[in-house]
Amino acid sequence: ATTRDLADTLADLCALLLEHGGSLWERFPIDAESMFRLMRRVIPQLREASLAAQSFPRDVLFTILRETIRQERVPFEADPLTGLQVLGMLETRLLHFHTVHIVDATEDRLPGPPPHDPLLPDSLRGLLRLPDGRHREQVAAYNFHRLIRGASTVAIHYQSGVQGSGLFEEKKSRSRFVEELLWQEEQRLKTLLKPGMAPLHAVSYPMPAICTGDRPVMRSAAVDSRIHEYLKRPLSPSALDAYLTCPVRFFHERICGLSAVDEVNEGDDFAGIGDLLHAVLEEFFKPYTGRTIRPDEDDARRLQELFVLRLQQSELRDQLPFDSYLMLEAAGVQRLAQFLEQQPETRIVALEKDIAADVDADDLPPGAVRQQLAGRIDRIDEREDGIVILDYKTGSVNRPHPRIWDNTDLWQQMRAWNGEDDDTLHQLAEAIHSVQLPAYLYMYAHGGTGTKAPRGAAGLADAGWVELKTKGQEILLFGKDTSDDDRTIFLEDHIPLLMRFLFRHMRTSPAFRPRRGKHCEWCSCANCCSM
Which H or E element spans position 68? helix 58-70
Amino acid making up residue 385: D
Query: Mind listing the pLDDT tens digit of every residue in the chain (531 residues)?
Result: 999 999 999 999 999 998 888 888 887 777 888 888 899 999 999 998 888 889 999 999 999 999 999 888 877 665 566 678 888 888 888 788 889 999 989 888 888 887 778 888 888 888 888 888 888 899 999 999 999 999 999 999 988 765 554 444 556 788 999 999 999 999 999 999 888 888 898 887 666 555 555 678 888 898 888 888 888 888 899 989 888 888 888 888 888 887 776 665 556 677 888 888 889 999 999 998 888 888 888 888 898 899 899 888 888 888 777 878 888 888 888 888 888 888 888 899 999 999 998 887 655 555 555 788 899 999 999 988 889 999 988 887 777 777 788 888 989 999 888 888 888 888 888 888 888 889 999 998 887 544 343 455 567 888 888 888 888 888 888 888 888 888 888 888 888 889 989 988 888 888 888 888 777 777 777 667 655
- Measured CA to CA, the distance from residue 402 to residue 398 in angstroms comes to 12
pTM across the whole model: 0.59
Phi-psi label, residue 461: left if phi above 0, alpha if psi -120 to 50, beta otherwise = alpha
- Look at strands 292-293 and 346-359 and give their pairing: antiparallel
| φ, ψ (nearest 5 deg) of residue 386 | 140, -160
- Measured CA to CA, the distance from residue 167 to residue 266 in angstroms comes to 6
pLDDT of residue 407: 85
pLDDT of residue 209: 55
Q: How far, CA to CA in Å, does 496 sit from each of 456, 489, 493? A: 12, 10, 6
pLDDT of residue 453: 38
Q: Compute the 3-state secondary structure of the chain and give helix, strand, coil in percent, each to the nearest 5.
A: 45, 15, 40
pLDDT of residue 147: 93
According to DSSP, the residues that pair with 350 across neighbouring strands are: 380
- Measured CA to CA, the distance from residue 262 to residue 320 in angstroms comes to 18
The answer to whether the CB of 435 falls within 8 A of the CB of 498 is: yes
The single-letter DSSP state of residue 155 is E
pLDDT of residue 342: 85
